[in-house]
Amino acid sequence: MYDKIQEAARFLQQHNSAGATVGIVLGSGLGNFTNEIEVTTAVPYAEIPHFPVSTVEGHSGKLIFGRIAGKPVIAMAGRFHFYEGYGPEEVVFPIRVLQALGVKTLLISNAAGGTNPKWKVGDLMLITDHISFFAHNPLIGRNDERFGPRFPDMSEPYKKELITRARQIAADNGLELREGVYFGVTGPTFETRAEYQLINTLGGQAVGMSTVQEVIAARHMGMDVFAMSVITDIGIREEENTITHEEVLEAAHAAEPKLTLIFRELIRSL
């Protein structure tokens, strides 16, 4: 795996002449964030050696090199999920490639279900921590010390300094932010009402099918991580209310300008 990552990074290095140290992972329905980027190159995943290919609507499948707020960045327009049939190592392969390219700070977004009935669709949640017992850990198996230690510390998976900066950015711009714990699951089914209740009881304010594996791999390699969820549905809901992927994408699109503002200003501050 290490050799494949290095090969992919060597292929991409020609596009990273600006030396980006900030990476961005865009979740379901959040691809329009790329309009904020002064794009220099967009490389389809299919052209990158050993890269998986996105199969989910709302994930365009390109690695974008450019600038935001004057800072060089690399953005993943589309991510990979365990439920697509990819193994955990494949899910985090792009994160390891970003680190090999020199990325030190990773900004992650996702669409998630909310478990707090007082919240509403379209709310933004700062992820302060996560619960990953229900997602397959990408570090299972033989550890490669070239990536990181056998037992990486996870006491601060999401950089507190970046969370503090995001709070201030939101306050300065009159945006309300929720905060809470992200609960990772495998998907692809949306959760049952009983599962939402259990997740809420266990301390999860949002639940989703991505992010935790990426964060584990990033922290394994010493990267700083910041992540936000767009609450695209409220799981503890009225009995007749069902959830569709189309509604999730619609809610994510509606919240995108607020998330874009926070990401842009956070990058500006780095």
Residue 197 has pLDDT above 70, yes or no: yes
Q: What are 97-151's pLDDT values in tens digits?
A: 999 999 999 999 998 999 998 998 889 999 999 999 988 999 999 999 999 999 9
| Confidence (pTM) | 0.93
Mean pLDDT to the nearest integer, 52-80:
86
Among 102, 34, 108, CA closest to 67: 34
Q: What is the pLDDT of residue 255?
A: 82
Q: What is the pLDDT of residue 235?
A: 77
Residue 263 has pLDDT above 80, yes or no: yes
Q: Which two tokens stand for residue 94?
A: 């792009």
Q: 236: pLDDT confidence band, cut at 50, 70 and 90? A: low
Q: What is the pLDDT of residue 29?
A: 63
Output 38-45 pairs: Cβ under 8 A, ≥24 positions apart.
38/66, 38/67, 38/68, 39/64, 39/65, 39/66, 40/15, 40/65, 40/66, 40/67, 41/15, 41/65, 41/66, 42/77, 43/12, 43/15, 45/78
Residue 59 has pLDDT above 60, yes or no: no
Among 211, 224, 152, CA closest to 181: 211
Which CATH number is associated with domain 1-269?
3.40.50.1580
- Evaluate whether 161 touches 214 at the Cβ level (below 8 Å): no
* Ordered alpha helix ranges (H), the chain: 2-13, 88-91, 93-100, 160-172, 193-201, 212-220, 245-269
Q: What is the pLDDT of residue 178?
A: 97
Q: Which two tokens stand for residue 243?
A: 């959830």
